[in-house]
Structure 1
Amino acid sequence: MVNGPVVGATDMTGYKMREMVMVGHLKLIGEIIAIDGNEATIQVYEETEGLKIGEPVTSTGKPLSLKLGPGLLGNIFDGIERPLLEIEKHNPGFINEGIGMIAIDEEVRWNVDMDVVVGQHLLQGMCMASFPETPLIEFRWIVPPGVEGEVTWCAPSGAYSITEPLVKIRNREGDEEVLCLLQEWPVRAPRPVSERLALSKPLLTGQRVLDVFFPIAKGGTAAIPGGFGTGKTMTQHQLAKWSDADIIVYIGCGERGNEMTDVLEQFPKLIDPESGRPIMDRTVLIANTSNMPVAAREASIYTGITIAEYYRDMGYDVAIMADSTSRWAEALREISGRLEEMPAEDGYPAYLPSRLAEFYERAGYVRTMEGRDASVTIIGAVSPAGGDFSEPVTENTKRFVNAFLALDKKLAYARHYPSIHWLNSYSGYIKVLAPWYAANVSADLVELRAEMLRLLFEENKLADIVQLVGEDVLPDDQRLILEVSKVLKIGFLQQNAFHKDDTYVPIQKQYQMLTVIAHLYERGLEAVKQGIPISVVRNEVLFDRVIKMKYDIPNDDLSGLDTLTEEIDDHFDALIKKYA
């Protein structure tokens, strides 16, 4: 039986669930997903066009696994870790069936600086050697999970490929194991850690609406839901470019080819703000576009999270951008339909929630086997049909993430980016991050954020009244809320990705900008309470200066914000004196 990516096979005695197999004469890569007596159902990760009844199925003896080693960074892979740039050299424009599980380049030689000696007892996770994988990232060759023993032989420091033996150890059973730079790991199995730690640090992104209003913790989880055209991909691009994670894993899961093309063209040109090097030096791209095999799309997010855990085990903070988990869920639905499984809500399989949970729970702030603190942060985009947040993928995702960054169609169409709506979004990390903000920014930042959010909620209530009877019926203190909320939305929450100072804003400047807006409201309210008309209180030139401070005041010189605060005081002192 051949039904798209689903293939039925007989005479499968001795095969195991989740075993990787080669299907047909072309040796298409597949995975056993069901066994019934002597029959098995195989999920094939390549196009099955031309596959015939009666072709052989060959065992590999292992589950679907990734090859892990130096050479991942700066590369782009498909959903099952085949290098697209290398494939393109041999067959431009197409991926041929049956090319096998080629992965990282086995011919490249790396200058390995060995750090082990004969007789040393190695434990899993210990660093055996280190060398630059890219100018930004040091590769740390660690003992694979589950491996332990005494070193009986080690190669001297020098240039080696990823398959050459470097260390031999005698394990507990007395058997000899040979270790090389290359290791394999099954994609569906989480890599072990020594300890899971409490979240305590924010993932700083340079985006004001995130860092101050709806922060994401390092090792945390976040969802970015939004309908078509609301800016999910653009928001994830900004996070990939500017977040302070050491390594970025970007998964284009079922997205349009032109969007991934945009990523491929942009990222090599982007410069890392800290080092001045290309951002690709610390990025892994995984592309499984909408015209690629649907089964590989289902595997792509496991490929991404496994690569992220591999670098986490070296002691790095890794951020994953999954764009989008809705397309991944659609792949699950399609395969489930071909397997003739009983559908649940909206046709999705009944196990959709558990699969989402399995993915998001692999995030975390951890202590590695070697004792380093490291993290994997997962930020998943969700594409609900018609922007309906009550559909199953969005609803189930909300159960497993702690930051919900709801994109709004009206904001996006009004060119307000990031189009994260302040009323529909939330972050569960405020309390756990409050000590970090108090120690590194200001003790009153969390309180200031709450006050500004209160103004936005008040403004939303007042907007309904204004639409019915007009603004003139409101008392002046409520009209001031409308005016300051406008400053807050345009001057703080809206951000220009194409402006050199506004595309990325340091957290200290974000705090001081918010302080200026809060000070504007406080002085304006003081003036209104003394009977000064709102038409006078709202000085267009001053309010416009506050809105434009994001452009006019450079990130490396914040003295202009102090000057602006003095201008606000001078204006209102003069008003109060005049009307006293």
Structure 2
Amino acid sequence: MKVGKILKVSGPLVVAQGMDEANVYDVVEVSEDRLIGEIIEMRNDRASIQVYENTTGIGPGEPVYTTGSPLSIELGPGLIEGMFDGIQRPLDALKDKAGDFLTRGITVPRLNREKKWDFVATKKVGDKVQSGDIIGEVQENKVFKHKIMVPIGLSGTIKSISSGSFTVDEVVAKIDGENGGDVKLMQKWPVRVPRPVKEKLDPIKPLITGQRVIDTFFPVAKGGTAAIPGPFGSGKTVVQHQLAKWADADIVVYVGCGERGNEMTDVLMEFPELEDPRTGESLMKRTVLIANTSNMPVAAREASIYTGITVAEYFRDMGYSVAMMADSTSRWAEALREMSGRLEEMPGDEGYPAYLASRIAEFYERAGLAKVLGSDDREGSLTAIGAVSPPGGDISEPVSQATLRIVKVFWGLDYALSYARHFPAINWLNSYTLYQDKVDEYLTNSISKDFAINRKRAMALLSEEASLLEIVKLVGRDSLSDLDQLKLEVSKSIREDFLQQNAFRPEDTYCSLEKQFLILDLILSFEDEAKRALENGVYLNEVLALEVREKITRAKNIPEDKLSELKNIKTELVDAVTTLIEEGGSHA
């Protein structure tokens, strides 16, 4: 092991000399405390190292040990239900070893080396295998089946394989051939290198989140990318929590990057108690948490995003649908800016490094729907959803702009909506999605041919409402025609009875696509029926006073197993308007 010497310490940045045998992105151990660091710049024999722990008390002359390998994480059974820091150290194991406050230089294995897992082989001796082939399974918990794959780079004929109980670093199979080797339950992968796939595919299926404003108006496809920009207090974390809880992904990887510790505590407290609507078990049984909170070392914050996406890629390679939440990429960009400043690099826009946009692009490009490696043509998807926290809510700043150039879905959060207690606080006039046409085709075939038609009608009404409200401010509501006043009433119903959701009501916190269609169809049917009444000489205030309107308002609280009640309300609405016309036709 080559030993260098520290020349300079500047916060998390350490400069060492005598490192001529090291390479950029190699992992090193700094000082006698063996603090973990990563080389981010080489100049002759001098290496600039970002250290993932507190460097207080370290000075020039202390040793730096090179490991010769890049920052890698361990992938295998034990990831699910785990909580790790930004460089995949398990926080539970660290707490058991050091208590609530971590001591510097403490190391524990990334995955538990003592626990035995029941491995069931699905291949036999003599079978030919290639990189990515599934050779067996481990039932990690009641919900999740962990598929053991041939590590990337290995291929050949299986010489030996056996079912039984193994730890993650015991050999379960041997592969013969030019590219042969041992297969363990665990494999390693460098976090800054994307895991390869056979072919990237076009995402067409929506990631169903159960949030009406997202699924109906601004859907994201499985394998797509989305950004949630918004000012402080507008509900970015709330939206991401809802997506993590209810999105129809097989696996959720939640990265708390530079956010407040109490937000990760909320996740830790809530997720084990929440019932997964897909399985009936705890939501935590298909979740991996990576926490690098605002009080943790800034350098590890920069690594946490890569750790999270590498874990997500690993599960995608098994053929699963994975949703990764990054909260928030702005804090990650701030870590880049701090390290760039300490390296004395030429600053770009607002002090961010010139390579900010390319780093953000590299991250989001690792999402996608793909044919993964292996001989069975399986597909896996990785959906990346990143929160962005622009200072003062100004999305013209560099991180927001660089993100919006890459992602295809923009859920713009509005502080005024969150202040008015309208959640999710996604502004329907600012947001957009580029997956709409493909998703509309899917929803038309699977839910109703009217799904896309109703969505377009509702969006047109909401746009018209914005214009009409400007007129109302100037001349008052009474100056509007009955038809325009009706548009305002229907738009208000769309906003309050459809777009707004209550996370504390079990019937409303998650809404299936079928229920979303029926509620919106009911609201738009009210507009159709009201127009019919007006054409037949009925006064608008009589239509608005119908008792059935109360039922339309409460339609979102109807449970999923009683959706036929929504159709009954629609029938009741038509009957009520017909009766009104028959009784009030004399107004014509």
Out of 194, 198, 214, the position equivalent to 1:194 is 198
For 1:18 and 1:423, the matched residues in 2 are separated by 43
Letter in 1 for 2:504: F
Pick the aligned partner of 2:113 from 106, 119, 124: 106
Which of 559, 562, 573 is the matching residue for 1:557? 562
Contact in 1 for aligned 2:93/2:108 (Cα 8 Å): no
Deviations 1:143-199 (A, max 9, x none): 011211222233x211000111122223326xx522211111000111011111111
The 8 Å contact of residues 29 and 100 in structure 1, kept in 2 or not, is answered as no
Contact 1:28 1:100 (C-alpha < 8 Å) held by counterparts: no
Counterpart residue identity of residue 136, structure 1 = V
Q: Is the 8 A contact 1:27 1:100 kept in 2?
A: no
1:291 aligned residue: 295
Task: State the partner residue of 1:203.
Answer: 207
Q: Please give the residue correspondences for 1:462-501 in structure 2 after superposition, counting only pairs within 5 Å.
A: 462-501=468-507
Moved more, 211-220 or 561-570: 561-570
Which of 415, 429, 448 aligns to 2:454? It is 448
Partner amino acid for 2:112? D
Matched, 1:34 2:34: no
- The residue number in structure 1 matching 2:578 is 573
Cα distance in 2 for residues equivalent to 1:240 and 1:445: 25
Aligned residues: 576
Question: Aligned partners of 2:360, 2:549: CA distance in 1, in Å?
Answer: 46
Aligned residue type for 1:277:
E
Letter in 2 for 1:576: I
1:321 aligns with 2:329: no
Structure 1, 347-356 or 110-119: larger mean CA deviation: 110-119
Distance 2:262 2:232 in 1: 15
Q: Secondary structure at the match of 1:252?
A: strand
Tell me if the contact between 2:546 and 2:576 (Cα under 8 Å) persists in the aligned partners: no
**TM-score, normalising length from structure 2?**
0.96
Distance 1:110 1:101 in 2: 19
Structure 1 residue runs of 4+, over 6 Å off? none
* 2:151 aligned partner: 144
Matched residue, 2:78:
71
Q: Partner amino acid for 2:63? A: P
> CA deviation digits over 1:405-441, x for unaligned, max 9?
0111111011110011110111111111122112210
Alignment of 1:8-157 (within 5 A): 8-100=15-107, 102-154=109-161, 156-157=162-163
Secondary structure, aligned partner of 1:556: helix
Give percent identity, aligned residues only: 51
CA distance in 1, matches of 2:546, 2:59: 74
Residue type at the aligned position of 2:59: K
Preserved contact between residue 222 and residue 380 of structure 1 (Cα < 8 Å): yes
Q: Which amino acid aligns with 2:116?
A: R
Equivalent residues of 1:430, 1:446 under 8 A apart: no
Q: Distance in 1 between matches of 2:308 and 2:352?
A: 23
Q: Match for residue 529 of structure 2?
A: 523
What amino acid maps onto 1:265 in structure 2? M
The alpha carbon displacement at 1:447 in A equals: 1.4
Contact kept, 8 Å, 2:120 with 2:137, in 1: the verdict is yes
Deviation, 1:50, is 1.4
Task: Indicate if the aligned counterparts of 2:30 and 2:64 stay in contact, CA closer than 8 A.
Answer: yes
Query: Which of 400, 404, 407 is the aligned partner of 2:410?
Result: 404
The answer to whether the 8 A contact 2:292-2:304 is kept is: yes
1:513 maps to what in 2? 519
Partner residue of 2:432 out of 418, 426, 441: 426
Cα distance between partner residues in 1 of 2:553 and 2:43: 66
Q: Is the 8 A contact 1:487 1:543 kept in 2?
A: no
How many angstroms apart in 2 are the aligned matches of 1:342 and 1:225? 27
Q: How does 1:354-373 map to 2 (within 5 A)?
A: 354-370=358-374, 371-373=377-379
- Do the aligned residues in 1 keep the contact of 2:205 with 2:222 (CA within 8 Å)? yes
Q: Which residue of 2 aligns with 1:383?
A: 389
1:531 is displaced (CA, Å) by 4.0
Q: CA deviation at 1:91?
A: 2.0
**Which amino acid letter does the alignment assign opposite residue 169 of structure 2?**
T
How big is the shift at 1:348? 1.0
Report the AA paired with residue 211 of structure 1: D
Moved more, 252-261 or 46-55: 46-55
Q: CA deviation at 1:116?
A: 2.9
Q: What amino acid sits opposite 1:244 in the alignment?
A: D
SS of the residue corresponding to residue 128 of structure 1 reads strand
Q: Distance in 2 between matches of 1:516 and 1:93?
A: 54
- How well do the aligned residues superpose, as a CA RMSD in angstroms? 1.2
Residue 229 of structure 1: how far off its partner (Å): 0.9
Residues in 2 aligned to 1:299 and 1:570: alpha-carbon distance in whole angstroms: 62
Secondary structure at 1:502 match in 2? helix
Aligned pair in 2 of structure 1 residues 63, 171: CA closer, same or farther (>3 Å)? farther
Matched AA of 1:116 = K
In structure 1, distance between residues paired with 2:466 and 2:530: 20
Contact kept? 2:53, 2:297, Cα under 8 Å = yes
SS state at 1:336 partner: helix
How many angstroms does 1:115 deviate by?
A: 2.5
Unaligned runs of 5+ in 2: 1-7
Report the equivalent of 1:308. Answer: 312
Q: Deviations over 1:248-279 (max 9, x none)?
A: 00000000011111111111111111211111
Residues 128 and 143 in structure 1, CA contact (< 8 A), matched pair in contact too: yes
Question: Do 1:248 and 1:320's aligned partners in 2 also have CA atoms closer than 8 Å?
Answer: yes
Deviation at 1:44, TM superposition (A): 0.9
Given that 2:537 and 2:581 are in contact with CA atoms closer than 8 Å, whether structure 1 keeps it comes out as no
Whole-angstrom distance in 1 between the partners of 2:360 and 2:18: 33
